[in-house]
Structure 1
């Protein structure tokens, strides 16, 4: 008789430790049931990984699953795994029926990531049980300390369970007790236990592998030949002896009055299932772990190779209860060697969980790769050219992140990924895209109301994270007919405020006052000014209808909005910091007001969220890969993250600039984002650059591409990102958020606080408070004064500049200032003037002249907007910045209702507060205050900079 089939007559069922879609579909499983009396199937992550990752068998099913909508890799795997489990269960259903529910089972494992999570195991097991909807399903749960209560709970609710990763007899007893308690609870609740089955998967060969390894070490150390022989005699014996004695425990546990009560109700015993029965050593007979463990009421789950071997030459006998005394002696002799079987079995449980988790990582990586391939251009492509050294560093870090589960820990809000402080309180942005999708009806209603009101313009009044995200949307997307044109005001410069007031029709404009805390100076004074202007235009009683607020619950802005009868108040999530808030109401309320298709924007965005999710291993996770590259490049000195954005998405860099700088620039560390620098030849760059090139699909610029290729060839790391379209812009918001959080972990900082921004605010408040009391700002004395400009700095900077040649001439001070620039530094021009096209061009010309002459990175920023952005890194990041602050007389100031200070005074206080913090931090800083006509002053400054660089 077929030896495999013959096991049936000895009371042992054979289950197959293998599952694949084609194996079931082509009838191979049915054939084994018929020819070998195979009575069940077990699966695990390693089995699925081999089936999915090493062939194209699942490509079509994955593509088909995605046609009904995008899914995360975990959900995608679960979808196709459930299909496979259901198919196998249907093939085995006749066995299940014929054995009255004793056999015919298919096992599906809960995620190995939940091995130490009782509640998570229970929740997933119950969900899988309901999803598969097959009575002959067994849910696999590991025999960890956290798994035991889950086993008892699941049995108690009528779910059949396969307990896996059992190695120790003592733990087996605990597992059997959990089964018995579960049955008793189920019966006490009126349930029929006849429909519940369970097996305890007792692992075999892995024990011999570890025992033999330690025996070999003892043999090598032994000097006595007789001792060597005694030790050799134990090799290959420990696992079988351990299993035989576990079976003796089974015979005791499932006998006696307690069990009789349950069996009278129809309960089935929990059979021992021999797992890991493939022989690992060539020294042993390949059928050993089947032949030596044949006994009544047991199961042997075998891999295909072992099944084939036993069919070919297996020997069948009732072996399980043979030589029990000899088995006891083997374990006693093994204990005398000084090797602890308890330690081996404990370590094997830990190793088993890790091995299954490693297999799950590979599995989800394979599914993620196939998902990305199937989605094609639906998700923005990313390629990293890092050079050999950085590439190896990132690869090593990728494996470290995988092995320590950091991406899952990040998603689980584990602050130890960073510094262990308050990071967990600021991770609401991880799920904001999904949360906002649930609010689409509300956004749609708001958009309809905006359109019905006939507003021609909508103006966001905010700073930093409240303004830069909406600005990207306003600049990137075309005006939607029938909806107001979207603008952003993020300045206290009186000329810029006046320009906005002239640009829009006040009586037909919606103002979106945006402030998380509600206490930020700039949006409050801008609101006061425009509320006054609207009141003049439409009447004070109707002004509130032209305003909406976006703020955190309970803020001072919410109180004001209610008092002034704003049309709407939208609440932000207090767990989302400003610079991570673009995919929350702070970005989406302005987008809705402008008539943008939020459904499309968010649907595309969540595809990137899934691509960067906790179930996507670091090697396949685009956000993690970009973050590791940025972070390690920064550690290696390439800390100038140079962002190059194509025309269609040209404003994206301004948003990314804030995210990167404010998140990473602190504690003397950080990445300095460089936005808007025109691409040059390799000769104008030092070795401190990391380039990120973004464009939309179809945008071409050969000259730009040639320069970028030259930089890559010269050894600079280059990341290329291609958006399918501007509608996919939300994907990049999220990619960069994940990347920045990961880079922060690499740098060892908290990427969610901004301590140095707060310091600048404190200085500003001190100055404005002084103005409110006295009617003027505290006096200050220039180090040099001329009809065109005054120069300011602290005593330390002044002394150093004078020693470097600075005298009464502006150019000489600038020359001395720029002499302090060394390789690896950056130069930042910080201009507190109106941000318009002409001034942007002027600053751009200045910075490019500095870049090309000094061969360092340059920044061109406008105040006070940058205070809520790059200002954090300038003050708290690495001491590699050389700062030239530019202030000027205001041609015309603007009063602010309910404030003694004007816009000009507040701007001046912000500039001085900013500069004081820079000098307090011993930064290399010089301030130029231009007098009289601004345009003439800027031309004179440009000329002086040119002279200073020559």
Structure 2
């Protein structure tokens, strides 16, 4: 009967528990549970057993809330609105329980004039070694509960002691917990006294403040007795002296603390406070349940009875003492014997100081583990209640990966790594500059707080009658909006959103023709304002829009950029209609839930308030109060990170339902640009049609992103059977795409921590920009790009490579060169097809056909990317990630070019410079890279190249 109180004996006349009052001791109960309060059991203990207080701790709440269903109705009701995190849910439930118990105990509080009648609620055990966090939470809980007879529990750690002083000075009742040593108790009593003095010095009342110091007892004997038994069994020469101390050290330690309390009460310093109405900080005996069955089950109650003390008794011991406990004022008995016991313990090397120090750490860890278990149970209940309102992540993993991830989840919980991410602790990664890039964690809530700004913009856009919206951007500024445009389509009565992220002149012209220039809202999206592509796209469309309108088109332009950027200056100088700001502490690939994604969403008619509210449910699921094992972002990130680091499965193969297929391109950028650096990382593989298990190596993880009731590809079952890890991410409907954005952002940050890299920088993207800038500058000065010579020519196909690659590939016809190139592909490698040509349906189909043949013949992962789009995406991983890529870059002569207004070059020149800059960095990184250039009509050249590739790999 450990978790409930028996009613047996409640009708006895003269309850022995009630008679503790005659000896000046107050019995409190170390237990709380809603049903126990609601059914009158707690009140009956007060009335018939003289119960005078209640304490709680994470372990107690874990048993109360985490098990059973009595809290489920309130959880469902609380989640009817916008949702709450697991931590917020727990707090709502706990505070209601505490308030209810405070109501039952309030008559005791009034009758004893504030001496008793208290109910204790503990600050988060995660804060045990955080002084600032502890006092902040103590103040918050005190205000949230709002009951005079509340005691906030603070652990008696060194950090907690400072918080105790501040809390007492604030007028908060404090229950100091986890005290084991006399020195720790002395420090706590000093904190109480100095807190009262500080408050009195300000002329504030101190008569209503109450505090107890919870001195733990039986755990000390459990540790000391264990050491005694070990030494006796080993034949210690002091065996008899050691055996004489069994079951005595904890009580002697408590009696020493009580003697110190009595001495302090006599001091002039305390007497001065008492004269002002101060209440003494009573010693409270905690952990009074007997651990050793050889001892009396009421030992730690019977031996610690004395004036001005409290005994907080666990349920089983409460029943036992009621049944057969004996009363005597034992606390002041045999003080000299107690001192002798402590002296003997020191002489015999039982290291009481070391034991108590360890017990504090173990106690904090134990409460944290209980809190993890509690929050995990609440999180699972929350997920169950939210149901289809929440995206769900599941995984089918081979046993080795599953065990490794489970072990890592435990480590993440013990080390508090989820909370440390939210606290922006850079030691989670490299102790570098990561903290400056973490505002994506809170951007959803921030944008909800400022949602009216976006809603007003949407109304203004609709009233102006735009037919089209054309977003000009690259990478993070374009891929997220592209997902929203393709996922949700054109909203009825709203302009259609188009996204242009290419310098290909044919593609620029195609988008120009696709919109009504007079009725188009142009969005120039660039975080820094210094990125080449958005700047030259702006130059072009500013010119053509102005020509169509017959005036400066500023009223048709919006800028999204970081504050004080070059683009802000451009927008201001040209009279843009609106400027919206990004957050400088969010990198581009993490910016989709900031203004970079939300402004395009709002102006194209999406309900951004609803979108963010739904997204916030996932933010809460990944929040600091969600332990690692129930945190979808952590679990997903650990699977990806450990699969790559420990098992060589670094090719993340992305599958997605048709309705959300564009999500894969956004995810490619997020994963590749975040993790692909310092020779490690994850290589995302998007749009690769599933094959049979025999075409895959042991380097794959499959991520299946499903929409609604879509069923997984049947071939995934065979892959699971073959031992491939398969992660399933299921969205109930398209509105959960924001949840998918966030859960993968969080997972990527976690994977970066596993890989030991900074997931928020992109050094090799910058190198490509530098090389491109050199080439465009050279063109502007000379009128041509620097000359280059192919090492092989076959008809309309010319082949280029750096000296090292050219030496390996030699000369000959196209088939010969390509055969040598692809012969370098080995197990665990991947092939990257990098096409600097117009990205349309026909070219995408061509790239897909080629890559699938390469995959099936070579049995390696294949990626099909279009430049310059991928430069701000997977290009980082190709250059900075593992040296497992074999690259074929494809360039072509443009059928027509488009000049860039105000610059000394054209879009075709820029694209060519980007391709060459990209190739130069690949070569500088020692990658296996080959470039083929097509002269003449593109369609014909692509067919010729496809035929040559087919012949090159035939029979491989």
- State the TM bucket, normalised to the shorter chain: over 0.9
Q: Is the 8 A contact 1:884 1:927 kept in 2?
A: yes
Q: Is the 8 A contact 2:487 2:662 kept in 1?
A: yes
2 CA distance for matches of 1:853 and 1:293?
A: 80
Map 1:733-812 to 2 at 5 A: 733-802=741-810, 807-812=811-816
Map 1:794-833 to 2 at 5 A: 794-802=802-810, 807-833=811-837
Counterpart for residue 11 of structure 2: none
2 CA distance for matches of 1:790 and 1:901?
A: 24
User: After TM superposition, which residue ranges in structure 1, 4 or more long, deviate above 6 angstroms?
Assistant: none
- Which residue, 905, 912, 917 being the options, matches 1:913? 917
Map 1:434-513 to 2 at 5 A: 434-513=445-524
Q: Deviations over 1:317-349 (max 9, x none)?
A: 110000100111111111011232222222221
- Which residue, 842, 851, 857 being the options, matches 2:855? 851
Query: Could you tell me how far 1:439 is from its partner in structure 2?
Result: 1.7
Query: Could you tell me how far 1:188 is from its partner in structure 2?
Result: 3.2
Counterpart for residue 10 of structure 2: none
Counterpart for residue 612 of structure 1: 622
**Of 176-185 and 87-96, the range deviating more from structure 2:** 176-185
Counterpart for residue 711 of structure 1: 719
Counterpart for residue 440 of structure 2: 429
- Which residue, 46, 70, 90 being the options, matches 1:57? 70
1 CA distance for matches of 2:198 and 2:426?
A: 39
1:537 counterpart = 2:541? no
2 CA distance for matches of 1:947 and 1:223?
A: 83
Q: Is the 8 A contact 1:789 1:928 kept in 2?
A: yes
Counterpart for residue 218 of structure 2: 205
Count matched residues: 940
Q: Deviations over 1:803-830 (max 9, x none)?
A: xxxx421122111111111111111110
Q: Is the 8 A contact 1:456 1:484 kept in 2?
A: yes
2 CA distance for matches of 1:467 and 1:431?
A: 21
- Corresponding residue SS for 1:254: helix
1 CA distance for matches of 2:81 and 2:600?
A: 31
2 CA distance for matches of 1:420 and 1:183?
A: 41
Q: Deviations over 1:167-198 (max 9, x none)?
A: 11122122112212222233333333232111
TM-score normalized by the length of structure 2:
0.97
Query: Could you tell me how far 1:724 is from its partner in structure 2?
Result: 1.3
1:671 counterpart = 2:679? no
1:17 counterpart = 2:34? no
Counterpart for residue 397 of structure 2: 386
- Corresponding residue SS for 2:442: helix
Counterpart for residue 601 of structure 2: 591
Counterpart for residue 573 of structure 2: 563
Map 1:825-904 to 2 at 5 A: 825-904=829-908
1 CA distance for matches of 2:375 and 2:916?
A: 53
- Corresponding residue SS for 1:929: strand
1:577 counterpart = 2:587? yes
Q: Is the 8 A contact 1:16 1:41 kept in 2?
A: yes
1 CA distance for matches of 2:768 and 2:909?
A: 16
- Corresponding residue SS for 2:889: strand
**Residue segments in structure 1 that go unaligned for 5+ positions in a row:** none
1:931 counterpart = 2:935? yes
Q: Deviations over 1:888-922 (max 9, x none)?
A: 00010000111101100010000001011111111
1 CA distance for matches of 2:695 and 2:762?
A: 32
Q: Is the 8 A contact 2:178 2:214 kept in 1?
A: yes
Query: Could you tell me how far 1:215 is from its partner in structure 2?
Result: 2.4
- Which residue, 99, 104, 121 being the options, matches 1:91? 104
Counterpart for residue 305 of structure 2: 294
Q: Is the 8 A contact 1:889 1:932 kept in 2?
A: yes
1:236 counterpart = 2:247? yes
2 CA distance for matches of 1:917 and 1:126?
A: 55
Map 1:131-210 to 2 at 5 A: 131-210=144-223
Map 1:268-287 to 2 at 5 A: 268-287=279-298
Counterpart for residue 3 of structure 2: none
Q: Is the 8 A contact 1:52 1:363 kept in 2?
A: yes
- Which residue, 606, 631, 642 being the options, matches 1:632? 642
Counterpart for residue 307 of structure 1: 318
- Corresponding residue SS for 1:814: helix
Query: Could you tell me how far 1:478 is from its partner in structure 2?
Result: 2.2
Query: Could you tell me how far 1:763 is from its partner in structure 2?
Result: 0.9
Counterpart for residue 600 of structure 1: 610
1 CA distance for matches of 2:577 and 2:592?
A: 22
- Corresponding residue SS for 2:435: helix
Query: Could you tell me how far 1:213 is from its partner in structure 2?
Result: 2.4
Counterpart for residue 946 of structure 2: 942
2 CA distance for matches of 1:540 and 1:913?
A: 37
Q: Is the 8 A contact 2:167 2:174 kept in 1?
A: yes
Q: Is the 8 A contact 2:82 2:613 kept in 1?
A: no
- Which residue, 308, 311, 316 being the options, matches 2:327? 316
Query: Could you tell me how far 1:233 is from its partner in structure 2?
Result: 0.7
- Corresponding residue SS for 2:471: strand
Counterpart for residue 551 of structure 1: 561
TM-score normalized by the length of structure 1:
0.98
Query: Could you tell me how far 1:849 is from its partner in structure 2?
Result: 0.8
**Cα separation, partners in 2 of 1:68 and 1:890, compared to 1, 3 Å:** closer
Query: Could you tell me how far 1:223 is from its partner in structure 2?
Result: 4.5
2 CA distance for matches of 1:223 and 1:469?
A: 71
Map 1:656-735 to 2 at 5 A: 656-700=667-711, 705-735=713-743
- Corresponding residue SS for 2:207: helix
Query: Could you tell me how far 1:77 is from its partner in structure 2?
Result: 0.6
Query: Could you tell me how far 1:671 is from its partner in structure 2?
Result: 0.6
Q: Is the 8 A contact 2:793 2:813 kept in 1?
A: no
1 CA distance for matches of 2:794 and 2:689?
A: 33
Query: Could you tell me how far 1:109 is from its partner in structure 2?
Result: 0.5
**Residue segments in structure 2 that go unaligned for 5+ positions in a row:** 1-13
2 CA distance for matches of 1:809 and 1:81?
A: 76
Q: Is the 8 A contact 1:648 1:695 kept in 2?
A: no
**Of 228-237 and 166-175, the range deviating more from structure 2:** 166-175
Q: Is the 8 A contact 1:879 1:923 kept in 2?
A: yes
1 CA distance for matches of 2:678 and 2:117?
A: 61
RMSD: 1.2
Q: Is the 8 A contact 1:465 1:582 kept in 2?
A: yes
**Of 885-894 and 587-596, the range deviating more from structure 2:** 587-596
2 CA distance for matches of 1:216 and 1:885?
A: 73
